[in-house]
Amino acid sequence: MLLHDEAPVKTGTDPAFRADVLRGLAARPRAVPARWFYDTRGSELFEEITRLPEYYPTRVETALLEAHCGEVGRIAGPGRAVVEFGSGSSAKTPHLLSQVAPSSYVPIDISGEFLRESAEGLAAQFPALPVHPVEADFMRPIHLPEAVADVPKLGFFPGSTIGNMVPRTGADLLRAMRQSLGEGAMLLIGMDRIKDVDVLIAAYDDAAGVTAAFNLNLLERINRELDGDIPIDAFRHRAIWNDMESRIEMHLEAQRDVVFTVAGERFAMAARETIHTENSHKYGPQSGRMLLRTGGWTPIAEWTDGGENFAIILAEA
Ligand code: AVJ
């Protein structure tokens, strides 16, 4: 029951969203960057995805962190500042913080709301731990707070978020992280593994249709924030394995010829044409370590589950 009117508010349109969507819809193949999935609804749907029976990455990675962060702490040593890239709700962070004896925690996220939430949650659980949130896009070079300038860092990049980037961009990001984390830094990163295609497809095309709703929500966001009239029922969620690129791709496929307008610009799509909305690259043991080396890091330890579904890798600068 609503206590006051909650008329749908037209949120201030991010000029970068507008530019990416207009450019992406006009491009061939059509593609919109995956980062635009995460409006409020998209973030909720993603949380729901992490609880799906088919979506193993979150469960497997969490179990790996629970089981092996003690060893990470022994290798890295106490007193490091833990710097998390794209901290989101910081759901996995306690498993690391409770086992590595950190001197402080630096969550980096583009959403100030997420940062406040996670800082509050962690303050309750780790009352003595200094938290220095940084509201920033981690894809750009980061200036860490002065308070951690002279402390060795332990970067934390879980969730296989690196997989959303093509390897070139991933390597560039790893290099930038090494630069921001500085001398003597270490990095703990999660990577999803190459595996049975049916298992991969099911993880990105679940029976309950949550991933489909997550993908289609991008069109709702475009309609709402960019004054669009895309007929959402004309599109279908598709998840495919691109073996040549070693990645799951998500697309929105037009089911019939459609014509629509976004931000005053007109677009026409033929039946079966798609908008490419996400890449999720998967790595084998060799290619994962090679990516780290290309990005300037030396892998020193790696843990995986019995089924080799997911890996966490510790690397040093
Ligand atoms: C956790 C952001 C990397 O690629 O698995 C989940 C996002 N997309 N289902 C992933 C996602 C569709 C996810 N990341």
Q: How far is the CA of 291 from the centre of ligand 1 (A)?
A: 19
Indicate whether 48 pLDDT > 90.
yes
User: d(Cα 229, Cα 102) in Å, to the nearest integer?
Assistant: 50
Percent share of the chain, pLDDT over 90: 86
Tell me the backbone φ, ψ of residue 49, rounded to 5 degrees: -60, -40
164 ligand 1 Cβ < 6 A: yes
Q: What's the pLDDT score for residue 116?
A: 84
pLDDT score, position 6? 46
Q: Using a 6 Å cutoff on CB, does residue 42 contact ligand 1?
A: no
Whole-number Å distance, alpha carbon 206 to ligand 1 midpoint, is: 13
Provide ipTM, 2 decimals. 0.98
Phi/psi at 178 (5° precision): -60, -40
> Which among 43, 92, 164 is the best mutation to test ligand 1's pocket, defined by most ligand atoms within 8 Å of the CB?
164
Whether the predicted pLDDT of 153 surpasses 90: yes
Candidate from 46, 139, 194, 214 with most ligand 1 atoms within 8 A of CB, to mutate: 46
Q: Which residue has a Cα nearest atom 10 of ligand 1?
A: 280
203 Cα: distance to centroid of ligand 1 (angstroms): 9
Could you give phi then psi for residue 311, rounded to 5 degrees?
-135, 145
User: Is 181 within 8 Å of 187 (Cβ atoms)?
Assistant: yes
Mean pLDDT (whole number) for 112-132? 88
61 lines ligand 1 (CB under 6 A): no
Tell how far the Cα of 257 is from the centroid of ligand 1, in angstroms.
29
Q: Cβ(49) to ligand 1 under 6 A? A: yes
- The Å distance, Cα 280 to ligand 1 centre, comes to 7
Nearest-angstrom CA–CA distance, 317 and 301: 13
pLDDT tens digits for 23-37? 999 999 999 999 999
